[in-house]
Amino acid sequence: MAEYKMILDLDTGIDDALAIAYALATPESDLIGIVGSYGNILVEQGVQNSLDLLEMLGHTEIPVYQGLSHSSTTDHFDVMPISAQIHGKNGIGEVEIPTAKRKVETMNGPDFFIEAAHKYGKKLLIVPTGPLTNLAAAIKKDPEIINLVGRVTLMGGALTVPGNVNPVTEANINQDPEAADFVFRSGIPLTMVGLDVTTRTLLTTKETQKWRDLGTFAGQKYADIVDYYIDAYKVTSPHLGGCALHDPLAVGVAVEPSLVTTLALDMKVDTEGPYAGRTIGDETKVNNPNPISKAAIGVNKDKFLDEFMEKLTKLFAEAN
């Protein structure tokens, strides 16, 4: 029996699609549900992508819940052109996969967080890889979950490197700085897996060719999806030499914290002015001897990439 129960909170673009596959292929935790968010695409498209990918990978037992469709301070959401460029207009590199027979659950995403926190307690791992709007809404509705959950491992932020929206701001945090600030300051046990480490874990066409060579439908489709991502990175981040495994790394760290070295630091998010969206230490807690949150600043990239390729290649080989 798996040690942990995991919920992914995704705006299902390409690296989120890889996070789904990695979570499915990780025996240390059971993926008990996916909560949909906005960001790389609209929430409705993201939820559909999650349903379609789960069905393609042979896991129709995992429920998908729709979360909030826009930030906590706006009344609508428009996909940024750069997001469409990197992930494709459909979020998965313009690759077409069969439409799932299943539909989204009737319960909303924040309520699912609350229900799962009360049911599983410290065994629950929450992995948000988009904006923190859904988790903030859940905590505001039921603050008790702060002390119930095992830990939150989020993909977002940048502490020791520049952001990817502007010099100080990372994209997921940028979608809803107010929600991120609320979650960071809430007291929930949190590890930030940001650009400091995710841009060191890179995939190239050498790896996707291994999936293509499997001769399976899932392997071919995932290779097509990720090759689109790799091509986008050649334009947006040619210095990296591959595509960053942002969201899968957060999944990996959730179940295997030793993959990263961390700095214990109570953090906050600036919400206004030129530094809006910046993730940084909270000056009001600088003398706290026992910080609740951590920021990943180093990663054992070879170990992670080896595990990532081994697990996903096996998953794609067995999917069909």
For residue range 7-23, list pLDDT tens digits in order.
999 999 999 999 999 99
Q: Which two tokens stand for residue 37?
A: 């968010």
- Match 């992508």 to its residue by tokens: 49
pLDDT at 244 over 90: yes
DSSP calls for 69-127: SS-TT-S-----HHHHHHH-TTSSTT---PPPS----SS-HHHHHHHHHHHHGGGEEEE
How many C-beta atoms surround the C-beta of residue 272 within 10 A? 9
Write down the pTM of the prediction. 0.97
- The number of folded domains in the chain is 1
pLDDT at 84 over 90: no
Return the percentage of the chain with pLDDT > 90, whole number.
95
Spatial separation of the C-alpha atoms in residues 124 and 104, rounded to whole Å: 22
Query: What is the predicted pLDDT for the residue at 320?
Result: 67
3-state DSSP assignment of residue 299: strand
Q: Domain range holding 99?
A: 4-318
Selected catalytic residue, list 30, 176, 196, 246: 246
Closest Cα to residue 197, out of 268, 238, 153, 249? 249
Query: What is the predicted pLDDT for the residue at 241?
Result: 87
Question: For the segment 276-293, what is each residue's pLDDT rounded down to a tens digit?
Answer: 999 999 999 999 999 999
Closest Cα to residue 302, out of 245, 262, 237, 238? 245
Closest Cα to residue 94, out of 84, 81, 79? 84
Spatial separation of the C-alpha atoms in residues 87 and 85, rounded to whole Å: 6
Does residue 11 carry a catalytic annotation? yes
Query: What is the predicted pLDDT for the residue at 232?
Result: 92
Asked if residues 296 and 158 have their Cβ atoms less than 8 Å apart, the reply is no
Give the CATH number of the domain where residue 124 resides: 3.90.245.10
Spatial separation of the C-alpha atoms in residues 175 and 8, rounded to whole Å: 18
Selected catalytic residue, list 11, 16, 111, 196: 11
Question: For the segment 108-162, what is each residue's pLDDT rounded down to a tens digit?
Answer: 999 999 999 999 999 999 999 999 999 999 999 999 999 999 999 999 999 999 9
Q: Which two tokens stand for residue 317?
A: 């080989």
Q: Please give the backbone phi and psi of residue 52, each rounded to the nearest 5 degrees, phi first.
A: -65, -45
| HEC readout, 191-225 | EEECHHHHCCCEECHHHHHHHHCCCCHHHHHHHHH
Mean pLDDT across 71-78: 93
Query: What is the predicted pLDDT for the residue at 180?
Result: 98
Mean pLDDT across 34-44: 97
- Match 């940048």 to its residue by tokens: 158
